[in-house]
Structure 1
Amino acid sequence: MYKDYLEQAKVIIFDLDGTLYEGTDHFKLHVENLKAKLDQEKKQAFQDIYDQILSGNHPVQIGKIYDGLRDIVWGWNPFTEALTEACNWEHERVHVDGAPSHIAAHEFDFKNWVPIGDGWWPPYAIARHFGLSIDAIQESYNRTKEQMAQLGGYLNQTPGLKEYLSELKNDKHLIVCTNSDGDDAKRLLQFLEIEENFDELIPAAMKPVNTKKHFNYVLQKYDVEPNQTVSVGDNFMNEVAPALQLGMKAVWLTDAAEKPVDDDQFVLTDTLAQSF
């Protein structure tokens, strides 16, 4: 079904990291780098929580908000931007006096309000839960990115994607909008051998805070209606929810079994590599 969305669109906006290449082992690598910063007795507890998250048996899940100030997890409605129930790490519902009823995407500060949009963020939340500083977590993230470039098996071309993008670009505008900086994004697109398929690269995008700003820019520049435009990405907060808010369609690359919200404007798929 996701192919119908792409083939009917006039403009397709792709995320880069986690979208235009395959694999999730880098998340596990990040987990190991974070665990290395913990005392021995906390390493297994970290792993146990991460395994619970992967199996869907923990409140920290894609589409939720980590409250770093209170060390709890909130549900969040991407359309109304309302905070719903709050849970502690034992999956118990908690009441929080003085908490806001809503939080907009531009209010995410990645310190007190952290959107859990893709596989990078559950390890972040667990690390904060165990007392690691934001700087220490960022250090682990940077090391993981370096290892991905240096070690084999972490950046894999999606079979058939290069050819499929080449077909799509014949009658569509293809755009990359990424939080990676320009130099890194260009290097990665060149490594994947797909850079020539895109009309435009929007780097250092500061998603999800500025996602709608970038999407509105694309709608205006290419003179298309929202329902003629598709956002493709692995981060629900960054690429899917903002697109739906603007009336666009979206393809969410995820291994999640269910949608956080019931909406027929977006579809789930675990990979773009399906019968090209």
Structure 2
Amino acid sequence: MAIQSYDMLLKNFTLSSPYVPYTSMIVGIFACKLVYDLNHLLSAAYFKSYSNLSKMQRIEWNNRAISTIHALFITAMSLYLVFWSDLYSDQELKAFVTLQSSPLSTFALGVSVGYFLTDLAMIFWFYPALGGMEYVVHHLLSITSVAYAMLTGEGQLYTYMVLISETTTPGINLRWYLDTTGMKRSRTYLINGVVIFIAWLVARIVLFMYLFYHLYLHYEQVKQMHIIGRLLAFAVPPMLAVMNVMWFWKILKGLKKTLAKRQ
């Protein structure tokens, strides 16, 4: 009986279209708080090096746990919705792919908005310890694009294509953890660096090329979106792509430097 009541609540309220954007953002914000607190407790109990960190390092340690969990969640949802579900399939749809959405896709975007809002608030509060202006710009672009797709249902396909790039976040965070705990010379650090390079190349370079190609093929459909949606579709991905290329160059230089030291 309790399970049935929960299913009815999920169907009629949480995943009911009028409430999805707001309930999902609240879920995202509270999930960030929960992950932060749990990571603090578990790290203090099971990682001896955690207690030796400075206050700011412990804050960043817990903050990166939030971004890792969000990245795993949104990457899984993005891959499923873009490549495995029929929600945005050209073969299955008679309507425009640029105008397709579902309660599930909107809910996942809302959770992501909740995360970006929480993370941006922490960046501002501790600025610049958790990230400089490039992180602020990245988060503002992300919030604007994701929130628009969530609230209007337009361009969700391209929003999820961009969000697949979050797959690189766990590797970046692991690199910071290894560096902070004195494992920069470990084999794990080197392997993680190679994985970051490959993941970044696939998710933030090659996939963005596919996104631009998809925009080109569906240009007539993109034109049917609201002017704000068209602006976001044609402006935000190129801006993020430029940032991705700049960061990729830094990753390549860092990997070459690390490999040279081990020869």
Q: TM-score range by the shorter chain?
A: under 0.3
> Which one has the bigger strand percentage?
1
> Which one has the bigger helix percentage?
2
TM (norm. structure 1) is 0.21
> RCO higher in 1 or 2 (8 Å CA, sep ≥ 6)?
1
Larger CA Rg, structure 1 vs 2: 2
